Amino acid sequence: MAPASQLESPPQTVLLDGDAYRVEQITAGTWSAQAPRHLPDGPQKTASLVRAVEKASNCKVTDSSYGAQGAAFNAQVDCASRLKN
């Protein structure tokens, strides 16, 4: 088994408004996130997933999409535009 790349990080849990989001770095510029199952689909869930990725990566989300029948949220980040907080 090949050693893990230094760019990848283990999955982490990000807490937002009392809910736990699972966030994982896939490549240097791609992150994946999962929201708690009890949250309904919609714009608020998507906005929360973006916030979770930005909090975990400390980078700005520039593009995102749902994959795997909507189970996975994938986000592209721009780390040159670091977040202020």
pLDDT confidence of residue 80: 85
Asked whether residue 19 carries a pLDDT value surpassing 50, the answer given is: yes
Asked whether residue 5 carries a pLDDT value surpassing 80, the answer given is: no
Q: Where is pLDDT greater, at 71 or 41?
A: 41
- What would the pLDDT profile of 35-46 be if each residue is shown by its tens digit? 999 999 899 999
Residues found in the chain: 85
DSSP tag of 5: P
How high is the mean pLDDT of the chain? 86
Asked whether residue 49 carries a pLDDT value surpassing 80, the answer given is: yes
DSSP tag of 83: -
